[in-house]
Amino acid sequence: MILGKRPDAERFLTRPNEGFNGAQVRAALIYGRDLGVVRERGQQLAAKIAKDPNDPFDVAQLTDGDLDADGGRLEGELAAQSLMGGRRLVRLRFSSDKASLDKLAAEALTRHAAGELNPEAFLIVEAGNLGRDSALRKAAEKAEGAAAIPCYEDEPGDVARQVREALARDNLSLSNEALQLFVARMPKERGVARQEIERLALYLDPGSGALATPADLEGFLGVEPEASLSDAAADAFGGRLADAQAGLRRAAQEGEGGPAAVRALGLHLGRLRRALTLAKNGAGMQEAAKAAGVFWKQEREFLRQARSWSLEELDRIQPQILEADRQCKSAGAPDQLIAERLALTVAGRARRLGL
């Protein structure tokens, strides 16, 4: 069944054990272009199903790579019983374009939703922007025992609400004019947007009770990652690997580590996505670039990149940026190497796009 309306989706995510319209739901497909929202909703649902979503005994975490290596792996995990007596949860992060894997996941979801495997287990599939021809999406929409939850990019009103609520928790607020200004400059990716809100809260001094005006935000909106990182991100998306690596190493010497480098790459992707989305909806590309917060001196290079990158290509790169960010935050991780490998991946993709 399709839970396309936000109230329906939120009700199910909050109380999944109640099912929907009288049907017991055993599987949920959460998908969409904004993987930050997909991951957030997947985690929210997992926390309602399992006491500990990271428990290796009751929770199995798979990727499409696991399905590619072993076609029966997903059904096997769904048929297995819990080792510790809790409710079994199987989580699949699906990002493959292979029709064979799409079909394999669809067949497993259909069987499980019908109760043919372990009927007490629950399946969560987190996927990207599945098209209407996706067998997995069709299966989730058709099965009574499954919920298909599309995740759309946040509208400006949604972003404004998130900003107000997040700042209020730190006893901070923005005037209407400042809020509009900040929202207009926000990246569309929810994960990156949350980082920007957190950064703004720190800038305004948490707990100070500040009510910020546009003038108060001038310094913040002008703040970018170190110039070397900003340049490195632009070089990577422009296909200039050597320049990108030099910029990353220069930034490292200036004290900017791997997490900041990955964040800079994510911010650049967010600007490209916002500009391309605005252009797709009818805006001129120069107007879209300005709305995405591109500095005028960088506009020519940004527009060159925007003519080659597409929303679909950005979708392919985004999971790797999110994964690099996660790896960088792990204790003892070689974050500088992770950032350089990510820059290599982005630059390589850019070169294949003709940049």
Single-letter amino acid, residue 20: F
Residue 35 has pLDDT above 90, yes or no: no
Q: Judge if 122 and 47 occupy the same domain.
A: yes
b or e along 122-148 (b: 16 or more beta carbons within 10 Å of the residue's beta carbon)? bbbbbbbbbeeebbbbbbbbebbbbbb
Q: Judge if 160 and 147 occupy the same domain.
A: no
| Higher pLDDT, residue 125 or 20 | 125
The two tokens of residue 252 are: 């490292």
Q: Judge if 242 and 202 occupy the same domain.
A: no
pLDDT digits (tens, 9 = 90+) for 202-226: 989 999 999 999 888 877 775 444 5
Please report whether residue 320 resides in a domain.
Answer: yes
Please report whether residue 1 resides in a domain.
Answer: no
H/E stretch holding 144:
none
pLDDT digits (tens, 9 = 90+) for 67-102: 999 999 999 999 998 877 778 999 999 988 889 999
Find the CATH number of the domain harbouring 133. Answer: 3.40.50.300
Q: Please give the C-alpha separations between residue 165 and each of 159, 160, 170, in angstroms, as whole numbers.
A: 10, 9, 9
Q: Judge if 135 and 214 occupy the same domain.
A: no
pLDDT score at 97: 80
Q: Judge if 84 and 205 occupy the same domain.
A: no
pLDDT score at 189: 66
pLDDT score at 224: 45
| Higher pLDDT, residue 54 or 90 | 90
pLDDT score at 227: 64
Q: Judge if 146 and 184 occupy the same domain.
A: no
Structural domain span for residue 184: 156-221
Mean pLDDT of 24-38: 88
Find the CATH number of the domain harbouring 172. Answer: 1.10.8
Please report whether residue 120 resides in a domain.
Answer: yes
Mean pLDDT of 185-192: 69
Q: Please give the C-alpha separations between residue 149 and each of 7, 39, 73, in angstroms, as whole numbers.
A: 11, 12, 24
| Higher pLDDT, residue 37 or 253 | 37
Q: Judge if 62 and 139 occupy the same domain.
A: yes
pLDDT digits (tens, 9 = 90+) for 258-298: 888 898 999 899 999 989 998 888 888 888 888 887 877 78
pLDDT digits (tens, 9 = 90+) for 305-328: 999 999 999 999 999 998 998 888
Please report whether residue 295 resides in a domain.
Answer: yes
pLDDT digits (tens, 9 = 90+) for 147-166: 999 987 667 777 888 899 99
Please report whether residue 313 resides in a domain.
Answer: yes
Which distant-in-sequence residues (6+ apart) come within 8 Å of 56 by Cβ?
none
pLDDT score at 311: 93
Single-letter amino acid, residue 288: A
pLDDT score at 237: 96
Q: Are 125 and 119 in contact (CB under 8 A)?
A: no
Please report whether residue 34 resides in a domain.
Answer: yes
Q: Judge if 174 and 310 occupy the same domain.
A: no
Give the residue from 201, 221, 241 where a domain finishes: 221
Find the CATH number of the domain harbouring 292. Answer: 1.20.272.10
Cα–chain-centroid distance for residue 250? 28
- In whole angstroms, what is the distance from residue 210 CA to residue 267 CA? 26
pLDDT, the chain, mean: 87
The mean-pLDDT minimum among 38-52, 63-77, 110-124, 172-186 falls in 172-186
pLDDT score at 276: 92
pLDDT score at 74: 94
pLDDT score at 174: 94
Please report whether residue 254 resides in a domain.
Answer: yes
pLDDT score at 331: 66
> How many structural domains compose the chain?
3
Q: Judge if 51 and 136 occupy the same domain.
A: yes
Q: Judge if 312 and 238 occupy the same domain.
A: yes
Give the residue from 221, 251, 271 where a domain finishes: 221
| Higher pLDDT, residue 331 or 171 | 171
pLDDT score at 225: 42
The mean-pLDDT minimum among 58-62, 77-81, 107-111, 215-219 falls in 215-219
Q: Judge if 137 and 170 occupy the same domain.
A: no
pLDDT score at 183: 84
Residue 118 has pLDDT above 90, yes or no: yes
Give the residue from 136, 151, 166 where a domain finishes: 151
- Write the DSSP symbol of residue 2: B
Return the C-alpha torsion angle 139, 145, 151, 157, nearest 10.
140
Q: Judge if 20 and 130 occupy the same domain.
A: yes
